[in-house]
C-alpha cells in the first residue's frame, strides 16, 4: 500500500492548498462528465477546508455533495455533521451544489437506510473523497470493534450501512469502504502529532484492526501540527 504524505507549515496553509486541489479535481471531473460527486467528513477537522472550498470558482450546480458518514442526530444537534456541512461548505458559491443527505428524521438509521442509499446510488462513483481519521484509526464511521465492521469492509457491501461502535456515542450511518475507496481522488486530513503517530502505527495492520487502511492506498494524507 502506498500513499503520499503532505506536511504543511500550518493548518491555514493546509486548508487553502487542499481546497485548491479539491476544486481543481472537481473542475477536471466536470470537464468530461455532466455531474461530479464529492464526499466529505464531519467531525472537527474539515471546517477550515470547507471555509476555503466554499468560495471556489467552479460549476457547483453540477456537484453532488454528501457526507462520508453521519451521526444519527437531528440537525439541531451540535454533533450533526450535516449541520457543519450546511454552515461551512454549502454556503457562498458552493450553495449551488446539491446535497445528498445521510440523515432523515427517524429513531434509527435502519428506518431510512434504503431511501437514502437510493438517492446516492446514481451519483456514484465519487469523483473526490475527503476523509478524516480518529485517534482509534476509524475513518468515516467505520470503527474498530463496530457491529458491522466486517460487512463495511467487504467488497460487496451495500452503499450505506448503519453502524454502532463502542467508540461512538450515537448510532451512525456510513458509506462502505469500497464506495469510499472507489473515489477517483482520495484525500485524508489529519492534524497533530498524535494522529501522525497513529497513522504510522496503522502501517501493516489489517483494516479490521485499522479501518483507515481500507482507504489509504493511493490517497494523499494532508498533515499539519
Q: How far is the CB of 44 from ligand LXAUTJHC (least distance, A)?
A: 3
Q: Which is nearer to ligand LXAUTJHC, 132 or 144 (CB)?
A: 132
Minimum distance from CB of 145 to ligand LXAUTJHC (Å)?
Answer: 15
Which C-beta is closer to ligand LXAUTJHC: that of 61 or that of 170?
A: 170
- Min. distance of Cβ 59 from ligand LXAUTJHC in angstroms? 26
Q: Which is nearer to ligand LXAUTJHC, 58 or 64 (CB)?
A: 64
Pick one of 38, 48, 50, 68: the residue that binds ligand LXAUTJHC (CB under 6 A). 68
User: Of the candidates 69, 90, 123, 153, which one interacts with ligand LXAUTJHC according to CB under 6 A?
Assistant: 69
Smallest distance, ligand LXAUTJHC to C-beta of residue 79, A: 8
Look at the block and give the residue holding cell 501522525.
196
Binding site for ligand LXAUTJHC (CB under 6 A): 41-45, 68-69, 71, 81, 132, 134, 140-141
Amino acid at each position: 500500500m502506498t500513499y503520499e504524505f503532505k506536511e504543511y507549515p500550518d493548518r491555514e496553509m493546509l486548508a487553502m492548498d487542499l481546497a485548491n486541489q479539491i476544486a481543481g479535481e472537481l473542475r477536471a471531473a466536470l470537464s468530461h462528465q455532466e455531474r461530479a460527486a464529492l464526499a466529505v467528513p464531519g467531525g472537527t477537522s474539515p471546517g477550515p477546508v470547507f471555509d476555503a472550498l466554499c468560495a471556489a470558482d467552479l460549476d457547483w450546480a453540477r456537484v453532488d455533495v454528501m457526507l462520508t458518514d453521519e451521526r444519527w442526530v437531528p440537525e439541531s444537534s451540535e454533533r450533526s455533521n450535516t449541520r457543519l456541512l450546511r454552515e461551512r461548505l454549502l454556503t457562498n458559491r458552493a450553495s449551488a451544489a446539491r446535497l445528498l443527505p445521510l440523515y432523515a428524521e427517524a429513531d434509527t438509521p435502519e428506518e431510512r437506510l434504503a431511501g437514502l442509499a437510493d438517492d446516492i446510488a446514481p451519483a456514484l462513483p465519487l469523483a473526490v473523497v475527503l476523509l478524516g481519521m480518529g485517534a482509534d484509526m476509524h475513518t468515516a464511521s467505520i470503527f474498530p470493534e463496530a457491529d458491522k465492521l466486517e460487512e463495511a469492509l467487504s467488497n460487496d457491501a451495500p452503499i450505506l450501512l448503519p453502524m454502532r461502535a463502542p467508540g461512538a456515542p450515537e448510532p451512525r450511518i456510513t458509506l462502505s469502504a469500497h464506495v469510499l475507496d472507489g473515489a477517483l481522488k482520495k484525500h485524508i486530513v489529519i492534524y497533530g502529532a498524535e494522529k501522525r503517530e497513529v497513522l504510522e502505527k496503522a502501517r501493516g495492520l489489517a483494516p479490521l484492526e485499522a479501518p483507515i487502511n481500507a482507504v489509504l492506498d493511493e490517497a494523499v494524507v494532508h498533515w499539519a501540527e
